Chain A
């Protein structure tokens, strides 16, 4: 059968068209670059972290920001595996699992840091920052903290954040998108920690705790958004766009194309996001209550040719469309 249709789709497809392959390769390179960059950041910040709660929180956030990249790279190993009897849909969900793990990690540690900062603030802990000896000069460590936070923000905001944000829609990869989104928002963390440190410098000791709370609430928010998105996809919410903002337009397009077939009276689909690729169940009501197998095959091939994401397609002739299936009406 596959030889008769050279473009015939595969269930649980694992290969990608050239544009996506290029984007994926590029994404892997960016993720590795990010891990290296962040590791250097963590090491440099460790030298100056001192007693500032805001700096400590920002430092832990840097460590946490490694989880999406690691999750992405690990998930990729599984996503590429071909479907088998035991895993007939392939292992695409690994990406969703990685997304969930990253989200929960952010949520839990962010909440922990927020509580820690609030307790410190209530207890009235005055953060102590002394001096360091650098090239024979004694300078206040706070200035070094500010300098480091200004320098390290360049990577996420200007280099790898935007790069990944460009790749995520091409690959329809939500983990990558969330990762890019967090990187681009990283300047808020750095500004907050600078405000905290300068606050300490000016004798406004509480600014440090306040900045730490702001940073940790940012982490909690990221965690909540990611956990929610990952859980919804793992629970087979209908496929949405990579930013979770709208229903994915492919569902409507598939329904439209099916209705244009002469033998189809009506059609509706259920589309779920397996992570990067979709699985499509297309319900069709045949015009004369009869179907030719060749028509069904042609219809599923037609759907598969619409987009590289929809290769796992089943077309099901029914007498009545299920109410919960997407009929393309928004």
Chain B
């Protein structure tokens, strides 16, 4: 009986210690949840946002010096919220996703919808139908896999701009 109580007490102490340790570790590292394993959000903020653009008439137009259209404008505005200067790369979907995987891009925009086949190679945002020119399609943007703070920040921005 005594050992049972002692065991229980030890376990409770251990749990409390673990919780305290976790809390200390978290505050010590200044970690906020979610955070990026590769630190994308931190790197981009106040720096440059490397955006890939896959041309799609009415959403991303590439006739001008930098891409225009509703999606390109959204990406520019997002960069502005992070005090980042947008750095555009124009290419095919496969090229852009490859660059995203290699860590050469932070964000890819184009006519991607919720049904995009790139789901295994890129993190995708929720679908947004409130963007002009989508014809009811739910448009997503692509980010590097697992960069959850960056993804969450982007989704928060999109919710505010074009969310329902």
**Is there contact, CB below 8 Å, between B37 and A130?**
no
B155 within 8 A of A: yes
CB distance from B126 to the nearest CB of A (A): 7
B134 within 8 A of A: no
**Is there contact, CB below 8 Å, between B155 and A127?**
no
Name the residue on A nearest B157 (C-beta).
A138
B23 within 8 A of A: no
A203 within 8 A of B: yes
State which residues 190-212 of A face B: CB under 8 Å: 198, 200-205
Known A130-B125, A130-B155, A131-B152; contact A201-B34, beta-carbon cutoff 8 A = yes
Report A-chain residues with C-beta under 8 Å of the C-beta of B37: 126, 203-205
B contacts with A: majority SS: loop
Q: Which of B62-70, B78-86, B143-151 lies on the face that meets chain A? A: B143-151
Name the residue on A nearest B160 (C-beta).
A138
A297 within 8 A of B: no
B8 within 8 A of A: no
Complex Cα–Cα for A143 and B152 (A): 12
Complex Cα–Cα for A129 and B126 (A): 11
B contacts with A, residue count (CB < 8 A): 23
Complex Cα–Cα for A126 and B123 (A): 9
A contacts with B, residue count (CB < 8 A): 20
Hey, which bits of chain A sit against chain B, CB under 8 A?
125-133, 138, 140, 142-143, 198, 200-205
26 contacts between A and B (CB under 8 A): A125-B145, A125-B146, A126-B144, A127-B146, A128-B123, A128-B124, A128-B147, A129-B151, A130-B123, A130-B125, A130-B126, A131-B155, A131-B159, A133-B126, A133-B163, A140-B34, A140-B152, A200-B146, A200-B148, A201-B35, A201-B148, A202-B35, A203-B31, A203-B34, A203-B35, A205-B146
Hey, which bits of chain B sit against chain A, CB under 8 A?
26, 31, 33-37, 123-126, 143-148, 151-152, 155-156, 159, 163
